[in-house]
Amino acid sequence: MLQRIQTVYLFLAALVSAGLIFVLHLWVTNDDVIMYAKDNVQYLGLFLGSALLSIITIFKYKNRKSQFMLGRLNIILNFILLGLFVYQSLNVSGETAVSEKGIGMLLPIVSIVFLALANKAIKKDEDLVKSVDRLR
């Protein structure tokens, strides 16, 4: 059943993780070089891994427990990505590497919100199925 609301949330999370990383920059260095996620293999891999995990979660609609668990795993992956961004921006002493932070650093937060909404809808579906099973 791909027409459920969590499919929309998961698709939006995948779109944020895979599509917007090529449009929004992460930071600008002191040399006025704009850094995107595609310029760093680690960030690109984590973003694309999050998008792939969201797509896989969409197609696990027959197993809601597995879908919920993959959603949680994806949230953890986005928190790791967010932690790397915070480390990158705060670890530098003074203004040595990152001169200006970009809006792309907030993409994991947006993805986490969509994933949390998807997990809430999955949990709601699971509770509904359990309540119907109780009546039988």
Higher local confidence (pLDDT), 27 or 57: 57
Angstrom distance (rounded) from CA 86 to CA 81: 9
Give the end-to-end CA distance of the chain in Å, rounded to a whole number. 23
Is residue 82 predicted with pLDDT exceeding 90?
yes
Which pLDDT value is given to residue 35? Answer: 83
Whole-prediction pTM: 0.88
Q: Is the pLDDT of residue 13 over 90?
A: yes
DSSP string, 90-114: HHSSTTSSEEEE-GGGGHHHHHHHH
Is residue 34 classed as helix, strand or coil in its secondary structure? strand
